[in-house]
Amino acid sequence: MQIEHPSSETEAQALQEALAAQVISEDQFDSISTIAGTDVAYDDATNQLVGAIVVLDASTLEIIETQVVTESVRFPYIPGLFSFRELPPLLSAFERLTHKPDMIVCDGQGLAHPRRFGLACHLGVVLDIPTIGCGKTRLTGTHETPLETRGASAPLIDNDQVIGEVLRTQDNIKPVYVSVGHRASLSTAKEWILKLTPKYRLPETTRQADQQVNRALKALQTQR
C-alpha cells in the first residue's frame, strides 16, 4: 500500500488531479458481506490525529472488528485537501484489520469535491476497494431541498454535473450528502446509505467509528 506525502499545497492539488482520473464511478464488486466506517479527529493539544475503522456485518450491522490509530499530523489544515491529512491514520488502521471489508463508507465527500477527489475517492483508489462518501455538510455544488420523508433525495450539481445526492435518511431530519468514492455507482451509494440508517440520520458505520474516535480522544486527554 503506497501513499505519497506531498510537501506543498500545489503538489497536493496536482496529485489530487492525477489520482482523480483513476476513480471508477460504476459498480465493480461482487457481494457485500462486510462494510466498514471511518472517522478521523484532531487533538490540537498534542497535534495528533485519531483515525478509526469499524467493520460491521453488512446484514445485521453488528460490529465485527475495530481498529483505532493515533498518529502525528503530517499535512497542514487546508480546505479541499483534508484527505492528505486524514488518510495516513486510516491506512494504518486498515493495515491492522484482520477482517478486510468489502466496502467502506467515509465520513466525508467523494466526488462531491471541488476537484472531484474527496477523502472517499482517495481512500478507495489507494486501497482499490468500493468506497462511498457520506458527508454531514455540503462542500460544493447546489441542490433543491428534498422532501421531508425518509428516502427522498435531490441531485447535487456543480458546473452542470451531478456530483452526488442530497439524501433524507429520516423523516423531518437534515439530509446527508452522498457521493461516489470508488468502484460504486451513485445509485448503489444511496441504496447502501439507506440500509445503514435504519434509526438515525448518520450511517451506523459512521456512528460507530465516531464513537471509537471520541473514546480515544478522551483517553488522550486523561493522559495529559
* Residue 101 near residue 90 (C-beta atoms within 8 A): no
Sequence spans of domains, the chain: 30-223
- The reported pTM is 0.94
* 217 three-state secondary structure: helix
Closest to 96 (Cα-Cα) out of 41, 39, 45, 54: 54
What pLDDT is attached to residue 77? 85
Domain 30-223 fold: archaeoglobus fulgidus dsm 4304 fold (3.30.2170)
Q: Average pLDDT across each block of 10 residues of the chain; the chain has 224 residues. List them in order.
A: 77 92 96 97 88 97 97 89 93 96 97 96 97 96 97 97 98 98 98 98 97 90 73
Residue 107 among known ligand-binding residues:
yes
Q: Hey, how many other C-beta atoms are within 10 angstroms of the C-beta on 191?
A: 14
Residue 43 among known ligand-binding residues:
no
* Residue 13 near residue 20 (C-beta atoms within 8 A): no
What pLDDT is attached to residue 46? 85
* DSSP secondary structure of 56-108: EETTT--EEEEEEEEEE--S---TT-HHHHHHHHHHHHHHH-SS--SEEEESS
